[in-house]
């Protein structure tokens, strides 16, 4: 067994050297890792790493463009042991460039772009010779270190590259509305950012960013609130002012209203659609009619919700974030969960889940968060979600149910 482990360590070390891991520390780490025994008597190895996204963070030529010397961030899985990052470039190994990371953690790696690197995917190597596949995400590098043409330019000539990360976000969702931007030029500049609502031109949020350094990607996030109140659905846009000169004419002062100073184009990279609900069934579905409709007759009572049919095992998401009020099993409802919708006064009930709901009583869940799977538990004919909406003060606590079909169909169209 000792001979086998030693041979395995040597093979892994040779493979690591072939992929550029030539430091003495890296080789020693490989040997130590290869010699670690697992309970079955073999050599243990960590899960292979993977790269999900690539983002320039410092010394950038634009939001999506880096250059030699830029610091970039890789996000993915099983990255803590990364000892080598390879910039793959075009086909063939002639233009591959490999370098050691600046830092490595379970989900992130930071690395400086080496001279001679070309645009293309990346791959990483860990200390126990686990190699990732080439990333689907491609890093764009500007030619000869020249900055890319930014899509926006202030009146003082300062270029700013800016775009939202997600073009559609939800109130109280797992992700906030997020703007990434990078200042070009060579001088630090004061940046001001307004969030404008297209419907009436109101500025609902404002940020001052003094003396922003060029080349560093910065992030602004909005949680869907203004003065603690959830804002209405619709299109919004981040408007940027650099050095006192707007990149797009600003609308009203914070809290003001009126016609938009500049119409918000759906193709504007700084605009997004904000929604207050997500449709709960995350897969193919059909609406029940007849006995599946709200108010249909039942023995001794009427149907208090809307049935939506989908295959058992289809994921269920919280239509609106909130706190779990009830999670239980009942003979008619099967596995069910009731969530108080944040800032609505309504309660949202989901019934016939395949398994007990994933969230527990008292737990806070977010819009779009997985809460369970479609099932047919309880008194159910076929796999489906029985969905109820109750007015304040809530489900069987003084409120009353209402027909949720129109709301479900509206959420279905937008999400």
pLDDT tens by residue, 139-154: 999 865 444 444 454 4
Residue ranges of domains in the chain = 2-36+49-145, 152-275, 286-414
Among the four given CATH numbers 3.40.228.10, 3.40.50.2300, 3.40.50.300, 2.70.70.10, the one describing domain 286-414? 2.70.70.10
What is the reported pLDDT for 243? 78
* More confident of the two residues 134 and 32: 134
Residue 372 has pLDDT above 80, yes or no: yes
* More confident of the two residues 362 and 296: 362
Mean pLDDT, residues 192-210 taken together: 94
Burial 265-288 (b: 16+ CB within 10 A, else e): eeebbbbbbbbbbbbbbbeebeeb
What is the reported pLDDT for 299? 73
Q: How far is CA 164 from the centre of its chain?
A: 12
What is the reported pLDDT for 186? 82
What is the reported pLDDT for 46? 75
Report which secondary-structure segment, H or E, holds 125: strand 122-126
Residue 333 has pLDDT above 70, yes or no: yes
Which tokens in the block code for residue 349? 């009930």
145-149, 357-361, 398-402, 410-414: least confidently modelled range: 145-149
Residue 204 has pLDDT above 90, yes or no: yes
What is the reported pLDDT for 64? 77
Residue 11 has pLDDT above 60, yes or no: no
Residue 230 has pLDDT above 80, yes or no: yes
SS3 content of the chain, % helix, strand, coil (to 5): 10, 40, 50
What is the reported pLDDT for 44? 55
Q: What is the CATH number of domain 2-36+49-145?
A: 2.60.40.10
Torsion of CA 256, 262, 263, 268, to 10 degrees: -110
Which tokens in the block code for residue 385? 């979600």
Percent of the chain past pLDDT 70, that is, above it, reads 81
Cα(189)–Cα(191) distance, integer angstroms: 6
Residues whose CB falls within 8 Å of the CB of residue 237, separated by 6 or more in sequence, listed in order? 195, 196, 198, 264, 268, 270, 271, 272
Domains 2-36+49-145 and 286-414 share a fold: no
Burial 5-30 (b: 16+ CB within 10 A, else e): beebbeebbeebeebbbeeeebbebb
29-38, 70-79, 122-131, 231-240: least confidently modelled range: 29-38
* More confident of the two residues 352 and 415: 352
Which tokens in the block code for residue 365? 């869940």
Residue 324 has pLDDT above 80, yes or no: yes
Among the four given CATH numbers 2.60.40.2550, 2.20.25.90, 3.40.1030.10, 3.90.1140.10, the one describing domain 152-275? 2.60.40.2550
**Given pLDDT bands bounded at 50, 70 and 90, which one contains residue 90?**
confident
**Given pLDDT bands bounded at 50, 70 and 90, which one contains residue 124?**
very high
Report which secondary-structure segment, H or E, holds 364: strand 364-365
52-63 tens-digit pLDDT: 999 898 988 888
What is the reported pLDDT for 172? 94
Residue 196 has pLDDT above 50, yes or no: yes
Mean pLDDT, residues 106-120 taken together: 94
Return mean pLDDT, the chain: 84
**Given pLDDT bands bounded at 50, 70 and 90, which one contains residue 2?**
very low
Calculate Rg over the CA atoms of the chain: 27
338-350 tens-digit pLDDT: 999 999 999 999 9
Residue 362 has pLDDT above 90, yes or no: yes
What is the reported pLDDT for 262? 54
Mean pLDDT, residues 353-369 taken together: 97
What is the reported pLDDT for 273? 96
Strands 140-141 and 65-66: parallel
What is the reported pLDDT for 346? 96
Percent of the chain past pLDDT 90, that is, above it, reads 64
Residues whose CB falls within 8 Å of the CB of residue 397, separated by 6 or more in sequence, listed in order? none
Residue 31 has pLDDT above 70, yes or no: no
The model's pTM is: 0.71
């Amino acid at each position: 067994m000792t001979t086998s482990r030693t041979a395995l360590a040597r093979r892994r070390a040779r493979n690591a050297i072939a992929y550029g891991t030539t430091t003495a520390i890296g080789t020693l780490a490989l040997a130590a890792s290869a010699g670690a025994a697992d309970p079955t008597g073999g050599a243990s190895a960590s899960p292979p790493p993977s790269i999900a996204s690539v983002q320039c963070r410092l010394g950038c030529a634009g939001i999506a463009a880096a250059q030699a010397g830029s610091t970039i961030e890789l996000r993915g899985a099983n990255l803590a042991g990364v000892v080598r990052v390879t910039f793959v470039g075009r086909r063939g190994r002639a233009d591959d460039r490999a370098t050691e990371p600046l830092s490595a953690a379970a989900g992130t790696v930071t690395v400086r772009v080496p001279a001679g690197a070309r645009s293309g995917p990346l791959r990483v190597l860990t200390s126990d010779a686990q190699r990732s596949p080439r990333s689907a995400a491609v890093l764009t590098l500007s030619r000869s270190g020249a900055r890319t043409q930014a899509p926006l330019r202030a009146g003082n000539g300062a270029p700013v590259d800016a775009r939202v990360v997600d073009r559609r976000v939800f109130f109280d969702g797992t992700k906030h509305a997020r703007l990434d931007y990078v200042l070009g030029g060579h001088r630090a500049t004061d940046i001001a950012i307004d969030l404008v609502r297209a419907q009436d031109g109101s500025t609902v949020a404002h940020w001052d960013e003094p003396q922003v350094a060029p080349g560093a990607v910065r992030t602004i996030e909005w949680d869907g609130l203004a003065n603690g109140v959830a804002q209405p659905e619709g299109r919004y846009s981040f408007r940027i002012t650099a050095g006192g000169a707007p990149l797009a004419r600003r609308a009203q002062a914070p809290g003001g209203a009126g016609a938009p100073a500049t119409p918000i184009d759906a193709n504007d990279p700084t605009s997004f659609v904000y929604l207050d609900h997500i449709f709960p069934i995350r897969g193919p579905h059909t609406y029940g009619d007849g006995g599946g409709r709200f108010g249909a007759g039942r023995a001794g009572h009427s149907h208090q919700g809307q049935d939506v049919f989908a295959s058992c095992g289809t994921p269920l998401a919280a239509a609106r974030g909130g706190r779990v009020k009830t999670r239980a099993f009942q003979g008619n409802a099967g596995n069910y969960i009731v969530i108080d919708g944040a800032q609505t006064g309504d309660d949202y009930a989901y019934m016939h889940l395949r398994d007990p709901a994933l969230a527990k009583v008292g737990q806070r869940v977010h819009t779009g968060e997985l809460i369970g799977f479609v099932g047919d538990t309880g008194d159910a004919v076929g796999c489906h979600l029985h969905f109820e909406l109750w007015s304040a003060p809530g489900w069987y606590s003084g409120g009353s149910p209402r027909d949720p079909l129109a709301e479900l169909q509206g959420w279905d169209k937008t999400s």
